[in-house]
Amino acid sequence: MGMSTNTRIGIYPGTFDPITKGHLHIIKRASKLVDRLIVGVAENARKDPRFDHAQRLELVRTDIANLHDKQCEVVVQSVDTLLVHFAQDVGASCIFRGLRAVSDFDYEFQMTGMNARIAPDIETVFLMAADKWQFVSASFVKEIHALGGDVSEFVTPSVLQALNETMAR
């Protein structure tokens, strides 16, 4: 892979159904903290996804290709195993998670505790969502869009187009 042993690799995992500007803001910030950032797109979405796995990967890849102020190499990979096992496989030392509100905290706190038990050498790093993106979630974006609301402020043009295409079907 050409990576030296002291290369810091981080993972930012998610369902990204779809990727939002809030996700992109976290990716930008996480890219300042590692030498290589892997955006891990979960294959088995717990939630009933609007977009299938291939579509979600493509949307994330497109948005990241258009993200101009990333500070390190950012790659997109599919995740179909336990997150900490994926992290160990790719040599990651940290997992980034975005926190929006107190409601996110309880779930994230439990998950971090479990991950620390399974892989104590992998740190979980929480990045607080910026004020502007505090309330933006992929679920809200899908719900507002499905009811005919304007979500162009929260997603990129390519994601908006994909959302419009799912409605047309």
109-166 per-position pLDDT tens digit: 898 999 999 999 999 999 998 889 888 999 999 999 999 999 999 999 999 999 999 8
pLDDT tier, 4 (very low <50, low <70, confident <90, very high otherwise): low
Predicted TM-score (pTM) of the model is 0.91
Tens-digit pLDDT profile for residues 70-92 = 999 999 999 999 999 999 999 99
For a pLDDT cut of 90, what percent of the chain falls above it?
A: 78
Mean residue pLDDT of the chain comes to 92
Instruction: From 53, 44, 32, 36, select the one nearest 82 (Cα to Cα).
Output: 44
Residues 6+ away with beta carbon under 8 Å from 15: 41, 42, 45, 46, 47, 49, 56, 138
pLDDT tier, 104 (very low <50, low <70, confident <90, very high otherwise): confident
The CA-CA-CA angle for residues 73, 76, 81, to 5°, reads 125
pLDDT, average across residues 14-30: 96
Nearest-angstrom CA–CA distance, 105 and 100: 8
Nearest-angstrom CA–CA distance, 74 and 3: 14
Strands (E), 51-164: 73-79, 94-99, 123-128
Residue 114 lies in a domain: yes
Give the CATH number for residue 20: 3.40.50.620
Nearest-angstrom CA–CA distance, 95 and 10: 6
Q: How many residues does the chain have?
A: 169
The predicted pLDDT at position 3 comes to 57
For a pLDDT cut of 70, what percent of the chain falls above it?
A: 96
Question: Cβ distance 32 to 69 under 8 Å?
Answer: no
Residue 3 lies in a domain: no
Nearest-angstrom CA–CA distance, 13 and 28: 14
Residue 93 lies in a domain: yes
Residue 81 lies in a domain: yes
Domain count, the chain: 1
The predicted pLDDT at position 108 comes to 87
pLDDT, average across residues 27-40: 97
Which residue range forms the structural domain that includes residue 23? 9-168
pLDDT tier, 5 (very low <50, low <70, confident <90, very high otherwise): low
Q: Give the pair of three-digit tokens for residue 39.
A: 């955006």
